[in-house]
Structure 1
Amino acid sequence: MSADFLQGISDQPVGIAKSRAHKRQLQIHSRFEESRETFKPKRPISHAEREKERRDEALAKPISQESKGFELMAKMGFKPGMTLGKQREDEIRITEPITVDIKGNRKGLGHEVEEVQESNDRVEAVMQKMKEQAAKHEELIDDYSKRRKMDNNAKQLVKDIRACRKVREELDHRIKKNVPTVDWFWRSYKVVQEETEAPKGYYRSRETEKEEEYKYSNGLKAPVDPNYDASMPADELEDALSKINTYLRDGHFYCIWCGANYCSPEDMADHCPGSTRRAHHGDDDHE
């Protein structure tokens, strides 16, 4: 058969014959596949593989009873299946020969054990590093959560202080009070005044000299406004809120979180949940 003919046969699909010619083509194709598997060249066996096969075959066979060594052992009372030496009651001995471990490389004795130990050490080092990275990641997340909570806490404190100052000023104006009991209880505003004449003996600049001063909303002179913001320490914000909130509750019977002005201390005690934000909303306590 020519190669072209066989190639044409191999391209034919396998299936049910539709005609006598098709049936013959399928039979030829089947015989061709069987012959190709039969005469398929085998991979050559290497010298090391051939030695291993012979060694395994030899070790699988028991010691011949016709050998000189077996005859000497038989004279000393040895029988097939017995162990060598006197056996104690609590001792377990092997009845099969110890397997032979053939060394097929030039590495020193114990080198394989050392390689395994080094591999285990590397794996352990990688695992330890991963644990440290995970712990550091958790620490960063925890630190971020704490800082986020502190920032929100500071922002809420500033918001409450500003609300207290605003309400305090309105309530003091109702009772015709001109200045606050404590300077910063009211908000002060910066006022810029322009001077028309420069002091004698000084060179007058082209720009008009300006002098800054602070005043309350009623026009009276005031100190510099503290301008409370979230960048201030939390303990200072908490102390300021505690002072102004205490004055509002004791002096005006007003609760900033209730948003109500009570008639008396007894009325406040009966209807106000408490003197902290937590008591009203369950949020972080700003004492």
Structure 2
Amino acid sequence: MSDEEEDYMSDAFLSQLQDVKPGVSMVRRVKEAMKREEKQKEKNIKNRQKSYKEQESESREAALQSSISNENKGFALLQKMGYKAGQGLGKQGAGRVDPIPLNIKTDRGGIGMEEMKKRKAEEELEHYRQKVRAKQQNETKSLEDFRSRVRTEREERKIEGDLRKSQRACEQLDSQKGISVPREDWYWPKANADEEDDGLKEEEEEEDEEEVTELTSFDKLQILTSYLRGVHFYCIWCGTTYNDEEDLCSNCPGDTAADHE
């Protein structure tokens, strides 16, 4: 081995290397570096020149925190009129004690801008509430209309059923009394489709001659019920033929379906 080549296992070479042992020494160096960085930041903050707005704000806050001295002309005039420090304004001393606080505007809005924004926000909120109320009312009305429509359809089906029952009863009772022709065509149920076609032809002929008023199922039921009760003393809801009118009036609840519920 030549003299120029270094022996990597010699003590001279190892002493030149830095201590890079993991553990406590490395953590200590990191903490020291962080402390130096924090101190440098604090030093930079202290040496930094404050802006005009910062100086103005600090001066204002300092002035507001300190009480008015006797050197103030306004305060001196108040003292001449009998005012004492810490006393309320007015003859009875019941007025304001502290000075009126300052409200510094930090935005670029003009005078009254905040009130206008507040009023506009309240108007928008009220408009939104009106829309919600109108929507709720429309939904409630739609639901009520639906229920009314369903109730009407159910009542119409019930009326149609009662009418058919009355027509069958009328045909049977008329036949028992020897009546071969109904008082009106619709007093008896239609026998078959041919008779319905004949009836339609007759109705068309009558409509050509004169205008005929069309009766509703409810009107037909009322007329036919009155006929059954007056001629046959029969009630379709009781399902009973009474002896006479007195027996009918005494024992039948009434002449409508609602009376029998």
TM-score category by the smaller chain? Answer: 0.5 to 0.7
Shift in alpha-carbon separation, 1:125–1:5, aligned structure 2, 3 A: farther
Counterpart for residue 112 of structure 2: 110
Are 1:268 and 2:253 counterparts?
no
Counterpart for residue 58 of structure 1: 63
Unaligned runs of 5+ in 2: 1-18, 205-214
Q: Which moved more, 1:161-170 or 1:127-136?
A: 127-136
Specify the SS of the correspondent of 2:227.
helix
Unaligned runs of 5+ in 1: 10-27, 193-211, 216-221, 226-234, 282-287
Q: In 1, are the aligned partners of 2:166 and 2:225 still within 8 Å (CA)?
A: yes
Counterpart for residue 122 of structure 1: 124
Are 1:81 and 2:86 counterparts?
yes
Counterpart for residue 191 of structure 1: 194
Q: CA separation in 2, counterparts of 1:116 and 1:68?
A: 40
Shift in alpha-carbon separation, 1:5–1:238, aligned structure 2, 3 A: farther
Counterpart for residue 175 of structure 1: 177
Q: In 2, are the aligned partners of 1:258 and 1:272 still within 8 Å (CA)?
A: yes
Counterpart for residue 158 of structure 1: 160
Counterpart for residue 213 of structure 1: 198
* AA partner of residue 221 (structure 2): L
Q: In 2, are the aligned partners of 1:158 and 1:237 still within 8 Å (CA)?
A: yes
Specify the SS of the correspondent of 1:263.
coil
Q: CA separation in 1, counterparts of 2:250 and 2:97?
A: 94
Higher strand share: 1
Higher relative CO (Cα under 8 Å, sequence separation at least 6) belongs to 1
- Measure how far apart 1:271 and its partner are: 2.5
The alignment yields a C-alpha RMSD, in angstroms, of 3.9
Q: CA separation in 2, counterparts of 1:152 and 1:81?
A: 84
* AA partner of residue 140 (structure 2): E
Shift in alpha-carbon separation, 1:116–1:236, aligned structure 2, 3 A: same
CA offset digits 1:215-272 (Å, max 9, x no partner): 9xxxxxx9569xxxxxxxxx83322111100111121121100112223223323322
* AA partner of residue 56 (structure 1): E
Shift in alpha-carbon separation, 1:167–1:80, aligned structure 2, 3 A: same
Q: In 2, are the aligned partners of 1:253 and 1:262 still within 8 Å (CA)?
A: yes
- Measure how far apart 1:66 and its partner are: 4.5
- Measure how far apart 1:129 and its partner are: 1.7
Shift in alpha-carbon separation, 1:59–1:245, aligned structure 2, 3 A: same
Q: TM-score, normalised by structure 2?
A: 0.67
Q: Which moved more, 1:132-141 or 1:112-121?
A: 132-141
Q: TM-score, normalised by structure 1?
A: 0.62
Q: In 2, are the aligned partners of 1:183 and 1:223 still within 8 Å (CA)?
A: no
Shift in alpha-carbon separation, 1:70–1:274, aligned structure 2, 3 A: closer
Specify the SS of the correspondent of 1:191.
helix
Max radius of gyration: which structure? 2
Q: CA separation in 1, counterparts of 2:88 and 2:128?
A: 47
- Measure how far apart 1:50 and its partner are: 7.3
* AA partner of residue 250 (structure 2): D
Q: CA separation in 1, counterparts of 2:241 and 2:170?
A: 11
Q: In 2, are the aligned partners of 1:190 and 1:214 still within 8 Å (CA)?
A: no
Specify the SS of the correspondent of 2:220.
helix
Shift in alpha-carbon separation, 1:246–1:70, aligned structure 2, 3 A: closer
* AA partner of residue 128 (structure 1): Q
Q: CA separation in 1, counterparts of 2:59 and 2:173?
A: 108
Q: In 2, are the aligned partners of 1:257 and 1:280 still within 8 Å (CA)?
A: yes
Q: In 2, are the aligned partners of 1:168 and 1:248 still within 8 Å (CA)?
A: yes
